[in-house]
Amino acid sequence: MREFLRIALRTTTGVALSAAAAILLSMSASYNRSTKALIPWVFVLILIALSARYGPMVSLLGSVIAVIVFSRMVYAPLGSVSVSDETAKASLAWMALISVVSAYLLFPPSHPRHRA
């Protein structure tokens, strides 16, 4: 039971950090519109770094949260989870896929870094 709580706390911490990073990146995109295309790719690197520290589940949950945050705050129509631009939809889908797959390939759940 104690091990489960420790893993849950690590995952929650990593997901909270990834959500904060997604919000900060979204806010920076509102000031500099020319970097909107780079935001998902920068976030992939952030998710891989967080999954190295907190486990691969952070990449899965963090990418879902990031897709919601980016679609509401960065891509038109703002305030909605629907994205009208096909290129932006593809970028969000690739961000989620690459971050989850690379996190599980580089740092599987049985990786020594994620054990007690």
Per-residue model confidence as pLDDT tens digits over 58-77: 999 999 999 999 999 888 88
Predicted confidence (pLDDT) per residue in 79-92, tens digit: 888 888 888 889 89
Contact in structure between 60 and 109 (CB atoms under 8 Å): no
Prediction pTM value = 0.85
State the average pLDDT for the chain: 87
For the stretch 36-53, pLDDT in tens is 778 888 999 999 999 989
13, 30, 35 from 72: Cα distances, Å: 23, 12, 16
Q: Who's near 40: CB < 8 A, 6+ residues apart?
A: 66, 70, 91, 92, 94, 95
pLDDT band at 116 (very low <50, low <70, confident <90, very high): very low
